Structure formats: C-alpha cells, structure tokens
Structure 1
Amino acid sequence: MVIASVSGGLLLFDAVIIAILLIWLGSAGLNRWRRKRYATVIDQAAFQKGSHRAQVIDVRNKEDFDRGHILGARSIPLSYMKQQMGDLRADLPVYLYDEGMTLSTQAAAWLAKQGFQQVYILDGGFAKWTGKTKKAKY
C-alpha cells in the first residue's frame, strides 16, 4: 500500500517535470522563431560597427540601464515602447539589446509590426557584452 502510494506520487512528479520541460522548450522555440522572423541577430563586432549609424536601444528597465549600459544606448524599456514610439525613426536601423535576448525579441516583433524593417538584436545580450559601457551618475 505504501509502495503504491509512493510510486503514484513519483508518476505525478515525473508528469509535472515533463510538462514544465515541454512548456520551456516550446517557449524557447517560439522565441527563436520570432527572432528569425522579425529581426536579425548580430554578434558584438557587427553591433559595434553598425551602432554608430543606428538607434541603439536598451529595452531593460531603467534601474538596470542605470547600473550599466552599452555606450551610446538609449533607455526605452519594453513596457514603455508603445508610449515612446515617436522617439524612434523607421528609416534608421534599430539595434536592440536586453540582459539576454527575450525582451529584445518581444520588442523586435512589435517594431516589425509597426513597419520597422531594419531591426537587429545583440546576440547574447548585455550579459555577454565585452565592449564599452557606461553607468549613470547619481
């Protein structure tokens, strides 16, 4: 009786773990598809080279931006992108980054739907950035 109860509990635990893994894999696959459809992922060298003639946008929250950001970037958190749409020019390339690439992917999809055609995402995001950075002064 105790053995049946333990094995039943293990089956439920296994099912929950499998469900979580499937959801995670599905989400990662969806993000990869969205990145491919709405933006071009570029490495650090290409990001640095093109950033001088592009709009470099940090889509993390303002606090993270103030702690450190890529030199020359502007803070437009994803949550405020719709309100600050007027600050972006559709005729210039938009270089996006966040800590990884999740928020940038969401921003790229939204910008593409607004007519932006030159949208780029930093591969690996700020977490892997080795170039020049700046911190906000308090």
Structure 2
Amino acid sequence: MIQFINAQAEQVRGLDVGDEIADALARLDPGARVAVFGCGPRVPDGGSERLLADFDEQVVGQLRSRHPRDRVRHNLGIRLDVPNQAVDAVIVTSRLRGLWERFGADVLAEAARIGARTLITFDDSAVTPAAPSHTPLPRD
C-alpha cells in the first residue's frame, strides 16, 4: 500500500492545485477555518485557520517551511489528529484523483467528521455518490 501511495505522490509531484484551492476558498467566508486535503506545494492565502494535508513527504517539507503558522500533516486526509468539526470546510483537490477509487470513501468520511462542508475540486461522480455536505465544484 505504501508503494502505491508513494508512486502516486511521484506522479502528482508537479501538479499545482493552487488555482483549485483559490476557487474553492472564494466560495467560503474569508474567516472560515479550512482544511485542504492534497494541497500540494502552492497554497494561496485564505481562511483564518488552516490545516494543510498532503501525501507527498517532499511537499510536506516545503509546506512546513513556507507556511509555519498553518498545521501541516503528512496525510491523505484519513484519521487526522484533530477534533470533530474542527473546521468549517474541507477542500479536496485533484491531487487525490489517482487514489480516489481506493481511498475516496475514507477521505469523505474524515472530511465529514472534521468539517461542516466538503468541497471537491474534481469530478468524483464515477466513484462516489454525492452526499448533502459534499459539493463538487462546477467546471467552467
């Protein structure tokens, strides 16, 4: 399993999802507490408190140096060490697309546990049925 996750991390290492995150943040109140699953190395400003999670260890090292005030986790977005309803919204980016078939349900369950709302920045409808708190963002 670790080899599969590490292979996916290598595949998406150059994938910049900063614009996806910015689009999702624009839909939230400026003071929202936000978690981002699959955040990648470039995270735009936004949110009053942020939890940044990525499954690529190299990216996590970059995040810790670039965003010292944020909580940064080396994690897919599963079994995080945060309380229930710790954030107002969870943003799930396309960096997780390659892991979605295997881990999508777990990621959504964790997002629902820690956040009041979940925003998914890619089309996951082939794998995951929509839930009331799960909002796929429209594509332009």
TM range (shorter): 0.3 to 0.5
Query: Which is richer in helix?
Result: 1
Larger radius of gyration, structure 1 or 2?
1
> Comparing both chains, which one has the higher relative contact order based on Cα–Cα distances under 8 Å and sequence gaps of 6 or more?
1
Q: TM-score, normalised by structure 2?
A: 0.36
Query: Which is richer in strand?
Result: 2
Q: TM-score, normalised by structure 1?
A: 0.36
